[in-house]
Chain A
């Protein structure tokens, strides 16, 4: 039981490049989330999903796209990376009811130069 696994852990991108961050959970959770955390700041919700095949915008969705083709995976894409997207990205998952709280991954540190 690995919980929530994020791939990769670190990445450096050049401005304009694209990439996909992968989040995988093995707890059969319905809900999955992508957050970003800038230095000294709290977490801000980018996109989330309430089930396979569904996605919704969070607080700061611009510049990102997501897909949830399989229940266990939630992908975050950056089509054209910008320096403002330099951040630590966290993925989380939870049961729909939230009774036991959400589980978070270890984070992906992304630097756009």
Chain B
């Protein structure tokens, strides 16, 4: 599995866009980029995933660079309820799911 690098923590003002970066410079061609988040002590929640193209759903947008060595998760209008640890994971489909240490996002009023 490719390794990912994420900042340990980030802050964001409520109502502003939260941009969470992830570096995956050793990603291989068949590996997808997944994002999960964990709010407080709950089980992680799937957010979004992509291979090459940018993706958007009701929760977030995923921007993957053309060389696929990095990506950014965008929460367009962060709320206090978005305060959580965000995990970036790269994996091939049907492979085991390995978590890193993630980014602790703090949304403040």
* Residues of A in contact with B (beta carbons under 8 Å apart): 4, 31, 33, 35, 41-45, 48, 50, 56, 58-59, 88, 90, 92, 94, 96-107
Contact = CB atoms under 8 A, between A and B. Distances in A.
A104 B98 contact: no
Contacts, number: 69
B15 interface: no
20 contacts: A33-B96, A41-B101, A42-B99, A43-B38, A45-B96, A48-B96, A88-B41, A92-B43, A96-B94, A97-B94, A98-B94, A100-B46, A102-B46, A102-B97, A103-B46, A105-B43, A106-B42, A106-B43, A107-B41, A107-B43
Contacts of A97: 93-94
Interface in B67-109: 85, 87, 91, 93-102
Contacts of B43: 4, 90, 92, 104-107
Interface residues of B, number: 25
Interface string B43-60: 111110100000000000
A101 B46 contact: yes
A94 B97 CA distance: 10
Contacts of A48: 96-97
A113 B107 CA distance: 37
A30 B41 CA distance: 26
Contacts of B32: 98
B87 to A, nearest CB: 7
